[in-house]
């Protein structure tokens, strides 16, 4: 008999999360080692799947018991139809997807080695994200949270602004982007979860406690966090003024592709459900870690029960620093 947990879904309706951004047809090849030069490499497994930052986050929301919607763009081609069908069959509401006449759908070739690391070659048609629909507070009023990535900056900005106006959570997946993109989007976000490379680049520093402090001073209005893969996650606790580090759960990584996206989807859902921030970070970290044990990008996203059960056996490693002290 399963006992109740703080990580169970709250009573009542499932929380609604809108994800905005990338929708890509990925071809994944599993190889022993990543190539180091020219030549031919023979994979021993492969998979084709529709994913991308926002798409994979939306799938995580659905797998964890939330109600997920996706706003993204595909071309008016067979790949675009397949992307939408694949994501719809995965439990995501794709009614807000845009089909762009004359554009080619995004595709990506990805090599994943036996250590779970990957090499990604993506292609985005320049015309795919040129069209940007207007977004107002009524368009997002039925959602509990919006989560945007950096792949469609103009739509991301409009959605964040509409969410803030509507009093909704406005969450930014702060991944590596073109010059000025994060600086444009961050002021409109209520929560920013950076990837380590993007955070270090923006802060001009490499020591992550210091990085979090710099980014918090830069974006004082927002919750600030940095995810660092196997090195865990860091965030600024607005209640205590501390910078906190949470060690990552120990798993054998088979495929790290989409792990960050699963983290973001879990974070958006848990935040929308009102879970306290430390529990939200634990929940998101475990969801991402469990995903890493499964080859296939987003298909490794765990269920709510799988995350809850794994959290019961996790001896959490935690450190904290007072902001402004030491490296902070």
CA distances from 44 to 28, 30, 296 (A): 11, 6, 13
Cross-strand bridge partners of residue 246: 233, 318
Across residues 233-238, what is the average pLDDT?
97
CA distance 57 to 67: 12
- What percent of the chain shows pLDDT beyond 70? 97
pLDDT(106) > 80 = yes
For residue 108, what pLDDT is reported?
A: 97
| Tens-place pLDDT, residues 130-180 | 989 999 999 999 999 999 999 999 999 999 999 999 999 999 999 999 999
For residue 323, what pLDDT is reported?
A: 74
For residue 322, what pLDDT is reported?
A: 82
For residue 122, what pLDDT is reported?
A: 94
For residue 189, what pLDDT is reported?
A: 98
For residue 121, what pLDDT is reported?
A: 95
CA distance 305 to 316: 19
pLDDT(297) > 50 = yes
Question: Which burial class, exposed, middle or buried, applies to 101 when counting CB atoms under 10 A from its CB (0-12, 13-18, 19+)?
Answer: exposed
Sequence-distant (≥ 6) Cβ neighbours of residue 95 within 8 angstroms: 69
More confident residue, 4 or 125: 125
**pTM of the predicted model as reported, rounded to 2 decimal places:** 0.95
Sequence-distant (≥ 6) Cβ neighbours of residue 155 within 8 angstroms: 20, 21, 71, 129, 132, 133, 135, 148
Across residues 256-273, what is the average pLDDT?
97
For residue 315, what pLDDT is reported?
A: 84
Across residues 83-98, what is the average pLDDT?
98
* Mean pLDDT across the chain: 95
CA distance 246 to 267: 14
């Amino acid at each position: 008999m399963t006992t109740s947990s703080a990580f169970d879904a709250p009573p009542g309706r499932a929380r609604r999360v809108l994800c905005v951004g990338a929708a890509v047809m990925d071809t994944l090849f599993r190889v022993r080692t990543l190539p180091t030069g020219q030549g031919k490499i023979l994979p021993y497994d492969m998979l084709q799947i529709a994913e991308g930052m926002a798409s994979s986050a939306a799938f995580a929301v659905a797998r964890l018991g939330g109600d997920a919607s996706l706003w993204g763009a595909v071309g008016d081609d067979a790949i675009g139809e397949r992307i939408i069908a694949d994501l719809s069959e995965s439990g995501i509401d794709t009614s807000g997807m845009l089909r762009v006449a004359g554009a080619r759908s995004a595709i990506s070739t990805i090599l994943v080695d036996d250590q779970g690391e990957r090499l990604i070659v993506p292609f985005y048609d320049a015309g795919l994200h040129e069209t940007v629909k207007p977004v107002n507070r009524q368009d997002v009023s039925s959602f509990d949270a919006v989560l945007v990535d950096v792949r469609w900056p103009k739509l991301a900005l409009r959605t964040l602004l509409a969410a803030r106006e509507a009093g909704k959570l406005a969450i930014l997946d702060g991944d590596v982007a073109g010059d000025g993109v994060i600086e444009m989007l961050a002021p409109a976000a209520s929560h920013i979860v950076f990837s380590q490379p993007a955070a270090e680049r923006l802060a001009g520093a490499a020591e992550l406690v210091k990085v979090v402090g710099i980014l918090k001073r830069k974006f004082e209005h927002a919750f600030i966090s940095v995810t660092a893969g196997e090195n865990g996650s860091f965030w600024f606790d607005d209640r205590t003024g501390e910078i906190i580090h949470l060690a990552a759960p120990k798993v054998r990584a088979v495929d790290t592709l989409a792990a960050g996206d699963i983290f973001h989807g879990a974070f958006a859902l848990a935040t929308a459900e009102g879970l306290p921030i430390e529990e939200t970070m634990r929940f998101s970290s475990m969801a991402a870690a469990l995903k890493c044990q499964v080859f296939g990008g987003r298909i490794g996203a765990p269920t709510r029960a799988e995350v809850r059960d794994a959290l019961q056996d996790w001896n959490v490693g935690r450190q904290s620093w007072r902001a402004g002290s030491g490296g902070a």
